[in-house]
Amino acid sequence: MTSYLIGLVGSGIGPSASPALHEREADELGLRYVYRLLDLDVLRRPVADVVAAARATGFDGLNVTHPAKQAVLPHLDELSPEAAALGAVNTVVFDGGRAIGHNTDATGFACSLTRGLPDVRMDDVVLLGAGGAGAAVAHALLSLGTGRLTIHDVDGERSAKLVDALRRRFGAGRAQTGDLEAVQRADGLVHATPTGMAAHPGSPVPMELLRPELWVADIVYRPLETALLAGARARGCRVLHGGGMVVLQAAESFRLFTGVEPDPARMLRHFDTLEGKAARAA
């Protein structure tokens, strides 16, 4: 039986659904698959050391999450075209001693959005967060046809850098920096920061900025019903939780690690089982 050893690198990743999602799909496909958490807070080692140790000890690949999606870049040998364009990596494949970085977040978010909110207006969208996940979401939104994307991040230099990269890829007029007030005129709002996670409670947006015509998507999935989504739902907004993105990016990562095609629909059903009723509240 073919076997794989995979890890997840990030901070505060104890609640991650990735081990269960990957290992269950491997079981369905008859693969021996071990998925380990490599929590930077627990290991107290920098990303460089964790990647080097995983490479030396025979890991086949790594998933990478907050806060390491950009920090991992200097420690890789090669980037896929998508990862290079995004400037962020969430999947590392070890191949013949080389560490190759990929990004499956953009396609994961795009598929989740078109599946969960298939008919929403996307002429004017606000994105909160310009880190690794935010970069992937930004590329996904513009690829799906967003006309004007306004990006807000507490680090103004980071948001400006992302806007510059987006303009080079998609044209000068489609991305800009802005503040939270842009939410008041937008069709949609996407949240791509850690705020709302169990370790970072709260909402990144004052509820008075939300109105029923606005749709709201959150990439956080633990908990699925973040403070932002709960508030948006109460104000009449259509909402999308982060569960679809985490499953669909995991499916693509699984394919990169194994060369075997997973069944995304089956993985979504498994996620529903793991999360219960909350997973079905789009």
Q: For 222-234, how does the pLDDT look when each residue is reduced to its tens digit (9 = 90+)?
A: 899 999 999 999 9
The reported pLDDT for the residue numbered 275 is 87
Residue percentage of the chain with pLDDT more than 90 = 90
Residue with tokens 């993105």: 245
Q: Are 203 and 178 in contact (CB under 8 A)?
A: no
Could you read off the pLDDT of 186-195 as tens digits, one per residue?
999 999 999 8
The H-or-E segment that residue 81 falls in is helix 81-86
Q: Is the pLDDT of residue 11 over 90?
A: yes
Do the annotations mark residue 16 as ligand-binding? yes
Do the annotations mark residue 65 as ligand-binding? yes
Confidence (pTM):
0.92
For residues 133-160, give the mean pLDDT. 96
Q: pLDDT-based confidence at 197, cuts 50/70/90?
A: confident
Q: Are 219 and 137 in contact (CB under 8 A)?
A: yes
Sign of the Cα pseudo-torsion (16, 17, 20, 24, in order): negative
Q: Select from 63, 62, 60, 64 the least CA-distant residue to 3.
A: 60
Strands (E), the chain: 3-10, 32-39, 61-64, 78-79, 91-95, 98-102, 124-128, 148-152, 175-177, 188-191, 215-218, 238-240
Indicate which residue of 66, 69, 148, 270 is catalytic: 69
- Tell me whether residue 69 is one of the annotated catalytic residues: yes
Do the annotations mark residue 35 as ligand-binding? no
The reported pLDDT for the residue numbered 280 is 54
